[in-house]
Structure 1
C-alpha cells in the first residue's frame, strides 16, 4: 500500500505552514539534530502509524464501508496531506485532490480456523510500518475477515495529521457515512467551512499577534514567580528507555469524580479531580508542594475546528500549590480553576511560552514539567454501524523500548463505557517497576480520597504508598 513516488499523488490544491502542534512534532521526532530532515525513506522517530482496531460482529456491508472510507477521505483534507520543505528550508503541508485508495486491500481472509486472540497477537507483533510523511499515504484501512459475520477493521492514521480528538471525529464521520451508504442516502454531518490547512495558516498568522500577547501575559502571571528548574536527564542520543503499564479507572469512581467536580466551589469536569489526585501522588513521591503537570489540550476554540481531523493539540501547564492543611475540596476547586483558565488561554503554543520564559529568566534549568496527561472524555463509544456490534480492541504495544522523550510519566486515558482506560508510559531510567506500582496504587487511593471534600491533604498523602528512593 506504500507508494514510492517522490511527488504527492493527485493535484496539489493547497499549501500551508505546519500547525504549531505539527511544528513541535516534526522538530522532536523527525528533524535531525542539525535541524535538517532525513533522507527520503530513512527511518525516523516520528511515530509512523497509530492503529485503532475494531471488532465488527454481524452482516457487514463491505461495499458500503468502502464507499464510506472514500467519502471520509474526500471530506477530511488532512487525510490527503503530505509534507515537504521549501528551498529555504521552511516546512509545509501539501493537500491533494486525492490519495491512493486507503482500502485497496479489501477484505483479507485469515487462515482457516484463525480466532480473534491469535489474530490480535499477530497484529501486535507485526513490524511497524515505515511511513515517510513526504510521500506515503497517511491514512490506511485494512479489513480482516475472521468469519462470514466477524471482521476486524484496522484504521491506521499517521500521528502527523491526527490527535486524540481527531479519532472521535473519524469514528463519528465514518459511522454516519457507512449508515447512509447502506440506504443510499446522504450522510447528515456538520459542515466543514474551512480545512485543517486553512486553520494552520491562521494559527501561523496569529503567532506574536495581540491575542497571543494577551495569552502570554496570562501565562506569565500564572507561572510567576520564577519557576524552580526540574532535574533533566537528557540521553546522549536523544532517546530514553521507556516501558508501558495499563491504567483503568472504574466507572463508579469516574462518576464520583465527575460529581465531585460538578459540586466543587469552582465547578468543572473530571479533569480537575483527576489532576488533583495525580498531583497528590507526585507530591507524595517527591515532596514537591509546587506541582506542574503538562495537560494535553484540544486547542479547537476556532469555529468549525471541532469537526476536523488534524493535529491541533497543544500543552497547557497546570500548576497546583499543595498545603497539608488544605482540604480535598480546596485542591479540586484550585484544579478546576486551573483547567478552566487553561482552556480559555489554550491557543498560545507551548514552545512560544517556553521560549519566553527562558528568555526572561523566569524558568530555571530543566523542563517546565516532567509528567503529562492526555484525558479524552469525548469519544465514549466505538464505531456505531447500523445492524452491527462494534467493539474497540486494545493493540497497545507493551514492553521496554527507546523513545525520543524527556517526559518521565505520560498518562493517556480515554473514556469508554463510563470508565477511563489507557496507559502510563514511564522512563525506566528515572523510576523502577516497584515505584511505578506504588504510583498506580497511590493514584487509585488518591482518586477515591478527593471525592470527600472534607479530607485534608495531610491525611490523604499519609495514606498513600511512597516509593523508596531507589525506586525513583
Structure 2
C-alpha cells in the first residue's frame, strides 16, 4: 500500500516558499536544459504534447498554453488534474492525476505519459457484490425516509436542436458503459451498513428520457411543468431494481424543437461531482457518434468502483490508517462545533423540525474579476483557492464570547491514491470523503493588512496540511475499522459542512452541451432529517463564483442567513484582492530551517 507523496501541497506554499523551492530545483533544471527547447519556444514538439496542451486548455478554460506553462499558475487544482487525466485517457494517453500535479508542465507530463491500451488489473472484476464504502455507510446510517430520493441533478444548456431518439440511445450507451450505474442496493439482515448490500449487475433497466415542452411565457405554469418533470424523473429511480439515472429534455413550446436544457438526474449513491463531468463528456461523445451514423465507442473506464471499494476495505486495516486514530480523536471539540445562533421561537410554529422541508437556500454570485483572481491569480502566487475561501469564512463567522476556533466538516473528492496502479480518474461513482477540521478564528484586526492576510491564509493551510491523507482515513476508521474507529461517532459532531466543488465549465466551442446552467444540486425528500444545520457550497459556473448557503430555518432565520452570506461574499472579494493584488503576499526571504520544512513537505528531504 502507498500513500500520496505529492498532491496540492505545492499550492499551499507561500510565494516566498515557492521561490525557495525553485532554487532547490535549479540543479534539476540544469540537467535537462540541454534537451529542452528554448523557453521562448513553447510549441508542442510531438503529438502527445499537442494533445495534452489542447486538453489543458479545455479543462483550465485558457488559450492553448505553452508546454512550459505551470499547471498551478494557470489555475489548476486537484479536481482539474483529475479531469485532465480522464480526458487524456479518453485519447489513449495514460497519465495519473498525481502525475498531472507533480509534472506541472505539459512538457514534463508528456515525458511521463504512456500511450496505447492500458494494462488491466486481473483482480479488477467490476461485477458482483461491492463492499459498502465509508460515504455509502455515512448515507445509510442516517436511516433516511425515502432513501431513494437523494439525487444529484445537473442542468445543461443544449446549444442546438437534438434528436430525442438519438439522445436516448446515447444516454443508454453511457449508462451501459459505466458499471456502477447498473447497481442495486437492497436491505436485508445479512448486509452491512445496517443491513444494506450493494451489487453491480451485468444488466439493468435503461434510463428513461422524458421530453417536455414548456410554455413560451415565463411564470408559475412554466416552472410547475418543469418541476413536475424533474420530480417524475426522480420518482423513476429505484435503488433495488433500477434505473439509477434518468434525464429530462426541456424544450420551448413554440414551433420546431430547438435548443433547451437537459436535466440529468442520478442517485447520489452512484455519482459525485466528478462523475457528472464524466457523464456529460461521454454523453456528448455518444450523441455525436450516433448523429454521424456510428455506434458509440466510449473511452475505457479506469479502476472499477467495485475494485476501489475492495481496496478501501483492505487499506482500512493498514497500520498507517490505524496510526491516524489519535489525530482524529483530537479534532472534535464541543465549543468549536457549537453554532453561535438559534432562531427565536415563533408563535404557532410548533416544535422545531430540522428537516429538509424546513430549509432554505441563499445564493449569491461573485463577478468574473474576483473569480478569475481567486482561481487563476491566487494559485499563480502559491495560494490555494480552498484556503482563501475558508479564511474568508472564518472572517465572516459570527463570534461567540470566548470562541477561538470553528469546527466544520470538509468534503473532498476522495479519489486519493490507496494502491499503486489504482486510477479512478475516469470511474463513475460516489467517492466523496467527509471529515472534521478545526480552524482558528482570526484575531481582531488592527495590524498590517498584508501581514494579517498572509497569517490567516497560512493558518488555514497549516491546519489542512496536518490532515492525514486528505481526510480519507477518517471515514475508513469510523466505518470500516471496527470498534475503536466507530467510537469517533461519539465525539462532538460538526453542524456546519463546507464543500468546494471547483469549476464546472465546458470550453469546447462546438459542444452539444454547454456549462451547467446552475450549481449541481442534491434533491432530497422534504421529510428527511438534516445532517447539518448549515451547508455551504462554493462552485465556479460560467466563470462566476456561486456561493450557496443552505440553512435550517428553525436555527438560522432567513434574514440572518442572507446577512451571513453577504458578509461571506464580501470577505471573499476583499481577501482575494488583498492576496492577489500585491498587498497580501510576503516577499521576504526564507530561513534555512524553513527551507528544510519545505523539502519535507514536498517529499524532497
Residue in structure 2 matching 1:315, options 417, 434, 437? 434
Q: Which runs of 5+ in 2 are unaligned?
A: 1-125, 343-350, 586-605
More divergent stretch after superposition (422-431 vs 51-60): 51-60
Partner of 1:438: 563
Q: Give SS of 1:53's match.
A: strand
Distance 1:51 1:361 in 2: 30
- 1:291-440 equivalent positions in 2, closer than 5 A: 291-302=406-417, 303-321=422-440, 322-324=442-444, 327-342=452-467, 344-350=469-475, 352=477, 359=487, 363=491, 366-367=492-493, 369-381=494-506, 386=510, 388=512, 390=514, 392-394=516-518, 403-440=528-565
Residue 255, structure 1, aligned to residue 372, structure 2: yes
Residue among 213, 217, 242 paired with 1:110: 213
| Equivalent residue runs for 1:36-75 within 5 Å | 44-45=146-147, 47-75=149-177
Q: Cα RMSD between the aligned structures?
A: 3.7
Q: 2:547, 2:569 within 8 Å by CA — same for their partners in 1?
A: no
CA distance in 1, matches of 2:510, 2:264: 19
CA distance in 2, matches of 1:260, 1:356: 44
Structure 2 residue aligned with 1:141: 247
- Aligned residue pairs, count: 420
CA deviation map 1:319-344 (0-9, x unaligned): 22133367111111222344455483
Q: Following TM superposition, by how much is the alpha carbon of 1:411 offset from its aligned partner in structure 2, in angstroms?
A: 1.2
Is 2:152–2:522's contact at 8 Å kept on the other side of the alignment? no
Q: Residues of 2 paired with 1:96 and 1:356: CA distance?
A: 34
Unaligned runs of 5+ in 1: 1-11, 31-42, 457-472
Map of 1:99 onto structure 2: 204
1:289 and 2:404 aligned: yes
User: Which of 445-454 and 151-160 deviates more?
Assistant: 445-454
The aligned residue for residue 17 of structure 1 is 131
State the distance in 2 between where 1:79 and 1:389 align: 21
| Corresponding position: 1:206 with 2:328 | no
Deviation at 1:448, TM superposition (A): 2.3
Q: CA deviation at 1:138?
A: 0.8
Task: Indicate if the aligned counterparts of 1:262 and 1:269 stay in contact, CA closer than 8 A.
Answer: yes
**2:392 maps to 1:277:** yes
Establish whether residue 122 from structure 1 lines up as the match of residue 122 from structure 2: no
SS state of the match for residue 421, structure 1?
strand
Deviation digits for residues 88-114 of structure 1 (CA, Å, limit 9, x no counterpart): 2422211112222213x56x3537x64
Residue deviations 1:444-468, cap 9 Å, x none? 2211232325679xxxxxxxxxxxx
Contact 1:25–1:46 under 8 Å retained in 2 = no
Can you list the C-alpha shifts for 1:406-456, whole angstroms capped at 9, x where unaligned? 412101232112212252110112211221122012112211232325679
1:194, 1:20 → 2: CA distance? Answer: 18
Match of 2:34 in 1: none
Q: Relative to total residues, which structure has the larger strand share, 1 or 2?
A: 1
CA distance in 2, matches of 1:361, 1:201: 23
Evaluate the alpha carbon distance shift between residue 259 and residue 169 of structure 1 in structure 2; reply closer, same or farther with a 3 A threshold: closer
State the match for 2:111 in structure 1.
none
Following superposition, the deviation at residue 286 of structure 1 comes to 6.9
Shift of 1:290: 0.8
Q: Do the aligned residues in 1 keep the contact of 2:389 with 2:572 (CA within 8 Å)?
A: yes
Change (3 A) 1:271 1:68: same
Whether the aligned pair in 2 keeps the contact of 1:162 and 1:311 (CA below 8 Å) is yes
- Describe the shift of the 1:230–1:346 C-alpha distance in structure 2 as closer, same or farther (beyond 3 A): closer
Q: What is the CA distance between 1:211 and its match in structure 2?
A: 3.1
| 1:21-36 map, 5 Å | 21-30=135-144
Which of these two proteins has the greater Rg computed from alpha carbons? 2
State the alpha-carbon separation in 2 of the partners of residues 168 and 24 from structure 1: 24
| Cα contact 2:408–2:498 (8 A) shared by 1 | yes
Question: Cα deviations across residues 211-230 of structure 1 (Å, max 9, x unaligned)?
Answer: 32244455456x38x66463
Contact 1:124–1:397 (CA under 8 A) maintained in structure 2: no
The answer (yes or no) to whether the contact 2:549–2:561 under 8 Å persists in 1 is no
Give, in whole Å, the separation in 1 of the partners of 2:513 and 2:238: 35
CA contact (8 A) 2:407 2:438 kept: yes
- TM score, norm. by length of structure 2: 0.61
